[in-house]
């Protein structure tokens, strides 16, 4: 899996060395020799990952990282800080500035590529979600900006058979989060499928295989995107690499530094909330694309797609499909007399009555204006006529309360009913027959149901 990587270092020899190593693994590499140039390049053409030196003249790496994370256009780009220092304070300062991780010079090639591959997978997911969200904004089904997405107050699941160590971790996290400790991996898997923001797993647990536990989370659709922070021994390089390969999001070495734990947990929770925000927006945009906003029913676009599938199945010997086309009688007169606001109230009330009088397998939709359809799988004409009559009676039996109950309107509907009639039938023909039924119902005095056979 390739990626575009921006290498930032004021020492040309370091830049060239990293560039050669990455290019040999088929990564596309660009370079910058100072912090401001790096910021400009990231804003102009955002890379997938930034490898950022800490000690640079002018703007140091911490400041560059902080500026990138403050900019909505670049905050999603993973930053790995590279330093000749291995000091605790510098590591924590980098994490608090928004860095995804630290690598110490001389760089371990195996750890470098493991970390790059891990962050590349994450960036691909973020890019896909951001692209879909942007598409939703362009067509107007997503509006507004993200709420404040901080990394505090998260529900953290600590999975460790060393109870003393687990309780110590939970105690450190309790100031900012809501930690829960599980010592049994099976119980922990059940807990992880609930409302959890972060899992911290002891990768070197004695009673269970922490990496196998992580792999199980990644194979389960309910926990696939849950961030995992693995606790490992600092000299267990092989386990660190394997953890990153199977999908661990971050590594925490023992003995655990409380501030580093806090910074890494905050980063992972903040990242999860951002991806959740993007996924929720995507789900919302998909829902809006197939839903009529006034009535809450599915719209014509969704209905057409479902009807095509059902009619095709019926043509191949499957169950019959019936369609109701329903038109509210004299709706223009309601709008002209009482105004469009009252007309909208009538449409919403009608949609409620319609939805409450069809079966769970039926698909009630707003077809357009005051016209509605009900697509009825596994339904013959006789049964569809019976349901149509029930809808007609329920609409006309009691007046519609509008204008906060100040007005009571008598509303009736004309209904056309059709059913599939053989292998040559089409969705268009099915709806056309139902439409002919509506016209016949109106011509015969309205408030009636007419079936039109194939």
> Which candidate, 127, 54, 131, 48, places its Cα nearest to that of 97?
54
Query: Residue 309: CB partners within 8 Å, gap ≥ 6?
Result: none
- What is the location of CATH 3.40.50.2300 in the chain? 1-107, 124-284
Cα–Cα distance for residue pair 454/452, rounded to 1 Å: 7
Fold category of 124-284 in CATH: Rossmann fold (3.40.50)
> SS3 for 86?
coil
Residues acting as catalytic residues: 370
Residues 175, 178, 181, 184, Cα dihedral to 10°: -160
The CATH class given to the 300-452 domain equals: alpha beta
Residue that has been written with the tokens 């049994």 in this structure: 184
The structure tokens listed for 304 are: 């057409």
Tens-level pLDDT at each residue, the chain (454 residues):
678 999 999 999 999 999 999 999 999 999 999 999 999 999 999 999 999 999 898 899 999 999 999 998 898 899 999 887 666 788 888 888 989 888 888 888 888 998 898 888 888 877 776 776 665 555 454 444 444 466 789 999 999 999 999 999 999 999 999 999 999 999 999 999 999 999 999 999 999 999 999 999 999 999 999 999 999 998 998 999 999 999 999 999 999 999 989 988 998 998 888 888 777 766 556 666 688 889 989 999 889 989 999 999 998 888 999 999 999 999 999 999 999 999 999 999 999 999 999 998 999 999 999 999 999 999 999 999 999 999 999 999 999 998 887 889 999 999 999 999 888 899 999 999 999 999 999 999 999 999 998 8
Query: Helix, strand, coil shares of the chain as percentages rounded to 5?
Result: 50, 20, 35
Cα–Cα distance for residue pair 216/289, rounded to 1 Å: 34
Cα–Cα distance for residue pair 412/67, rounded to 1 Å: 63
Cα–Cα distance for residue pair 288/284, rounded to 1 Å: 6
Cα–Cα distance for residue pair 43/68, rounded to 1 Å: 9
> SS3 for 293?
coil
The structure tokens listed for 275 are: 């991806």
396 contacts 330 by C-beta, under 8 angstroms: no
CATH code for residues 1-107:
3.40.50.2300
Query: Residue 146: CB partners within 8 Å, gap ≥ 6?
Result: 274, 277
- Chain Cα centroid distance, residue 247: 19
- What is the location of CATH 3.30.70.270 in the chain? 300-452
Phi, psi dihedrals of residue 384, rounded to the nearest 5°: -65, -40
């Amino acid at each position: 899996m390739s990626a575009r990587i921006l290498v930032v270092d004021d020492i040309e020899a370091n830049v060239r060395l990293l560039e050669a190593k990455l290019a040999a693994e088929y990564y596309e590499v660009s370079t910058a020799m100072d912090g401001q140039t790096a910021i400009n390049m990231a804003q102009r053409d955002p890379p997938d990952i930034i490898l950022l030196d800490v000690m640079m003249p002018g703007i140091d790496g911490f400041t560059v990282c902080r500026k990138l994370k403050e900019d909505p256009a670049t905050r999603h780009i993973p930053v790995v800080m590279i330093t000749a220092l291995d000091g605790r304070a510098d590591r924590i300062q980098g994490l608090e500035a928004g860095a995804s991780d630290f690598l110490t010079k001389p760089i371990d090639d195996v750890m470098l590529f493991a970390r790059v591959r891990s962050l590349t997978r994450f960036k691909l997911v973020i890019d896909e979600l951001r692209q879909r969200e942007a598409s939703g904004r362009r067509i107007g089904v997503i509006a507004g900006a993200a709420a404040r997405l901080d990394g505090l107050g998260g529900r953290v699941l600590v999975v460790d058979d060393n109870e003393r160590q687990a309780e110590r971790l939970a105690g450190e996290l309790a100031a900012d989060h809501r930690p829960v400790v599980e010592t049994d991996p099976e119980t922990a898997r059940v807990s992880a499928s609930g409302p959890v923001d972060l899992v911290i797993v002891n990768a070197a647990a004695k009673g269970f295989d922490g990496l196998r536990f992580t792999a199980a989370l990644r194979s389960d659709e309910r926990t696939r995107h849950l961030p995992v922070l693995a606790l490992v021994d600092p000299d267990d390089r092989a386990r660190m690499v394997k953890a990153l390969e199977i999908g661990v999001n971050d590594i925490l070495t023992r003995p655990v530094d409380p501030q580093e734990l806090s910074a890494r947990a905050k980063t992972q929770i903040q990242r999860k909330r951002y991806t959740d925000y993007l996924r929720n927006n995507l789900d919302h945009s998909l829902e809006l694309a197939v839903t009529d906003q006034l009535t809450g029913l599915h719209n014509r676009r969704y209905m057409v797609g479902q009807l095509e599938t059902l009619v095709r199945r019926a043509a191949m010997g499957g169950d019959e499909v019936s369609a109701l086309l329903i038109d509210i009688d004299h709706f223009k007169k309601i709008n002209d007399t009482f105004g469009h606001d009252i007309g909208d109230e009538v449409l919403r009330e009608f949609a409620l009555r319609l939805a409450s009088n069809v079966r769970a397998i039926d698909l009630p939709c707003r077809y357009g204006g005051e016209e509605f359809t009900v697509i009825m799988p596994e339904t013959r004409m006789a049964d569809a006529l019976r349901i149509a009559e029930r809808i007609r009676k329920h609409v006309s039996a009691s007046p519609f309360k509008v204008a906060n109950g100040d007005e009571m309107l008598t509303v009736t509907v004309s209904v056309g009913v059709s059913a599939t009639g053989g292998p040559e039938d089409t969705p268009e023909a099915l709806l056309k027959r139902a439409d002919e039924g509506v016209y016949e119902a109106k011509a015969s005095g309205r408030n009636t149901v007419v079936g039109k056979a194939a």
